[in-house]
Amino acid sequence: MPLATLRVTTASRTSVHPIGQQIQNALEGKGVGNGLLLVSVPHTTCAVTLNEPEAGLLDDFAQALERLVPWEGRYAHNQGAEDNAAAHVRANLIGHQAMVPVIDGRLQVGVWQDVLLMECDGPRTRTVEVRLLAEA
Ligand code: ZN
């Protein structure tokens, strides 16, 4: 059972969403001290990572994914109604979870870092699960 379950609604097919503050807010009142958080998404076409949430950079991520794994191409998965092979591949290049240390109930990220949800096949409402793996 996750410590917290968040919902993130995405507005376009490819987009990046800073979620560190939402995770921090979800820890309030949960009695979290020091430990390690696992932030994961139970989806096959979105991803979680850490980086800088600067608006231009968020667009750069989306554009880079478009160049690396274009929508058009020969994909075995794209048969019948399925057309999202590129979204599956993009999500796996980034990964489906991130680990974040917590001290005194506060996420320990760098000055320029945030936790980012990367939507690869939106718009959708995504679930983000937050688990406390270890208390130190
Ligand atoms: Zn699919």
Q: What is the pLDDT along the chain (136 residues), one digit of tens a residue?
A: 899 999 999 999 999 999 999 999 999 999 999 999 999 999 999 999 999 999 999 999 989 999 999 999 999 999 988 999 999 999 999 999 999 999 999 999 999 999 999 999 999 999 999 999 977 6
Peptide bond into 42 cis (omega under 30): no
The answer to whether the CB of 38 falls within 8 A of the CB of 134 is no
Enter the tokens of residue 106.
């506060």
CA of 23 to the centre of ligand 1 (A): 28
Q: What CA–CA distance (Å, rounded) separates 76 from 63?
A: 23
CA of 108 to the centre of ligand 1 (A): 34
CA of 119 to the centre of ligand 1 (A): 14
The answer to whether the CB of 126 falls within 8 A of the CB of 7 is yes
pTM over 0.85: yes
* b/e 22-39 (16+ beta carbons within 10 angstroms → b): bbbebbeeeebeebebbb
CA of 36 to the centre of ligand 1 (A): 32
